[in-house]
A and B are shown apart, each in its own frame.
Chain A
């Protein structure tokens, strides 16, 4: 797949949530593409639907209508089991609150997605050590999340996200829980993954400084892409 080919294609995607008898529309007829190797930032006010859009692209939520194709595969028609397998192989997740397993060490957390792949223990070790080296945390691999700072925990989460070499990386407010210096370090790391490893990255953020690292910034407002907003394309 060439760099300009779209790796993510959304066609007429709509999504709403039900609160009792009330139907709350969240996304309304969204259509857009993300090119392979692109770094996209999704911005917008709270409740605009940006995290929902990210979840739909990552295959952890279902559309009401429309299609979501990742690498040419329509994931909206997949069963839950197939989606779980697909996510394990194709998507790396970075969460605002890191979402590490508190009972596992940094090494074990990074190793976790690899346990689903069936590769040998030796190969797993090589992959984990490499991923921890990329995020510069080799020296803390035996520490538990509770023994690490917020920035270090997020770096472990990034290592976990890239260790399976996924097709796309999705990041939901990756700097939302960090101080300014840690946030800059994390954004440099994510930027490096995009520039050096050519990873396609879709990031939801409120932080304009973080968004500046992206190639493209799209704004969502009340469930629609705001095309009147000036688009920052680097």
Chain B
């Protein structure tokens, strides 16, 4: 077997240019596949980061419709509810439209308690709670725009017209790897008091309630009780787990995810075609050598080992290079696309997927050439009929 391995490895690098180009092709394909999978993973990151003890209550018609703030107290009294917070999408523009980031008007005290996976230094937390115009930004967001504590940040309202000024009082840091550190939030009271003066009809409304339950096992019952309570009211509610809420949000862009998934599968098909082409060329060129080996008494298993082995060596070399490149490229990609992807991290699952896919491609690409080499009559392989 050592001889077979020796032939296998030397054969692999016999045509250095062809092997090199094939390895490069696989490397690029693995890199593209890894990045596309990371985009999908990042898209679903909110789902992974969601908590089992948080429910979201929104208007049953659509997220576009708000709920009266008066519901907060009623929900708080539902059996199984620990406390209630709320959040409203603000949708302001920072300097230019291209500077997109998520902005929420929240009730800071309860919001910070509900999202305890974000850490804010105590003195900053106190300063934020004291200042009605105070705001908190995620660490990555603050770094992106060079914001420092005390900076005045001006947003141009789109949903809530006008120019809104905030003072950055706190910078939050996620304690988990998948935490979104690009969110900007501020006092809902500041928004509401302004609305009372400028657009009273829109005041005392929130986008959604965040309901923290005492026991995650009772979440379904609590959700049912909340929705039952507002049945036949002017603003009926739909309460679901945070996971379901985020999934529902993601489903709005399902078509894009489906396209990305299809492209990632197309990339696999391309790798397969590239390796299969190389292996069939290789096997065809080595017909005479395979026939000679068979003449000398080498059986089908050893011939198969040669072809499968070469295919796997080429594929795994490309895979290793592709994986090695995925990390720095993802880092650059994450920085460039930071406003769309809060956290662009290559997961272990993606690497395993790269690895397993490459092995499958290596094996599949060798099937037909091996089958042909084993079935080839020895005399035909020697190409001489006298």
Contact = CB atoms under 8 A, between A and B. Distances in A.
Given A61-B377, A103-B10, A85 B386 contact: no
Contacts of B288: 99
A61 B7 contact: no
Interface string B346-386: 00000000000000000000000000000001110010111
Given A99-B292, A101-B292, A112-B296, A49 B386 contact: yes
B336 to A, nearest CB: 45
Contact of B382 (A60, A101, A102): A60
Contact of A84 (B2, B6, B7, B294): B294
Interface stretch (A69-77, A88-96, A131-139): A88-96
Interface string A155-197: 0000010000000000010000000000000000000000000
A76 to B, nearest CB: 14
B5 to A, nearest CB: 11
Interface string B199-235: 0000000000000000000000000000000000000
Interface in A109-137: 111-113, 115-116
Contacts, number: 83
A113 B292 CA distance: 11
B296 A87 contact: yes
B377 A93 contact: no
A131 to B, nearest CB: 14
Given A50-B386, A88-B297, A60 B379 contact: yes
Contacts of B379: 52, 55, 60-61
Given A84-B297, A116-B297, A47 B386 contact: yes
B295 A93 contact: yes
Interface string B297-317: 111000000000000000000
A204 interface: yes
A84 B384 contact: no
9 contacts: A44-B386, A55-B378, A61-B379, A84-B294, A93-B292, A101-B289, A102-B14, A104-B3, A104-B7
A85 B384 CA distance: 23
Contacts of B293: 101, 112
A108 B382 contact: no
The binding surface of chain B is classed by DSSP as helix
Contact of B298 (A48, A96, A111, A116): A116
B385 A51 contact: yes
B292 A95 contact: yes
A17 B385 contact: yes
A48 B386 CA distance: 6
Interface in A9-29: 17, 26
Contact of B386 (A84, A160, A204): A204
Nearest to A220: B386
Contacts of B294: 60, 84
B11 interface: yes
B6 A99 contact: no
Contacts of A61: 377-379
Q: Which of A47, A50, A95 lies at the interface centre, i.e. has the most chain B CB atoms within 10 A of its CB?
A: A95
B386 A60 contact: no
Interface of A: 17, 26, 44, 46-52, 54-55, 58, 60-61, 81, 84-85, 87-89, 93, 95-96, 99, 101-104, 108, 111-113, 115-116, 160, 172, 204
Contacts of B382: 55, 60, 95, 99
Contact of B3 (A17, A48, A88, A108): A108
B296 A93 contact: yes
Contacts of A87: 295-297
B386 A51 contact: yes
B298 A84 contact: yes
Q: Which 6 A-B pairs have the closest CB atoms?
A: A88-B297, A51-B386, A103-B10, A60-B378, A99-B292, A61-B379
Q: Which of B2, B6, B10, B292 lies at the interface centre, i.e. has the most chain A CB atoms within 10 A of its CB?
A: B292
Counting contact residues on chain B (CB < 8 A from A), the size range is 20 to 34
Contacts of B299: 81, 84
A51 B295 contact: no
Contacts of B296: 87-88, 93, 112-113, 116, 160
B7 A103 contact: yes
A143 to B, nearest CB: 15
A20 to B, nearest CB: 15
Contacts of A26: 385
B380 to A, nearest CB: 9
A113 B386 contact: no
Contacts of A172: 384, 386
B51 to A, nearest CB: 59
A85 B294 CA distance: 10
A108 B3 CA distance: 8
A87 B292 CA distance: 12
Interface string B2-45: 11001100110010000000000000000000000000000000
Contacts of B384: 51, 96, 172
B131 to A, nearest CB: 75
Nearest to B2: A115
Given A46-B386, A47-B385, A52-B386, 9 more contacts: A47-B386, A51-B386, A60-B378, A61-B379, A89-B297, A99-B288, A99-B292, A99-B295, A103-B14
Contacts of A50: 386
Contacts of A17: 385
Interface string B60-79: 00000000000000000000
A160 B295 CA distance: 12
A108 B2 CA distance: 11
Nearest to A17: B385
Contact of A115 (B3, B289, B378): B3
